[in-house]
Amino acid sequence: MTIPACHHVIAHWVTDEDRQQINHAVAYAREIGDIQALPLLLARLTQPCNARDSYRAQKESRPS
């Protein structure tokens, strides 16, 4: 399966692994007090994305 790429200015997560990496980055930014990174990281987590929707649709339509 081909993983589509997010082409937004702020790259959103597409796969669950991408989301987990961003979650770890949020935790690390909070740990070290990097409050400038948090808005960008949160934007990467929270915005809708066509690439993510397309990837999920591909996963759901695959035969088990």
- pLDDT single digits (tens) 4-53: 999 999 999 999 999 999 999 999 999 999 999 999 999 999 888 899 98
Q: Is the pLDDT assigned to residue 64 strictly greater than 80?
A: no
Band (62; pLDDT cuts 50, 70, 90): confident
> What's the DSSP call for residue 33?
T
**Which distant-in-sequence residues (6+ apart) come within 8 Å of 4 by Cβ?**
14, 50, 51, 54, 55
Q: Which residue do the tokens 């930014």 mark? A: 29
d(CA 44, CA 30): 16
> How much is the pTM?
0.81
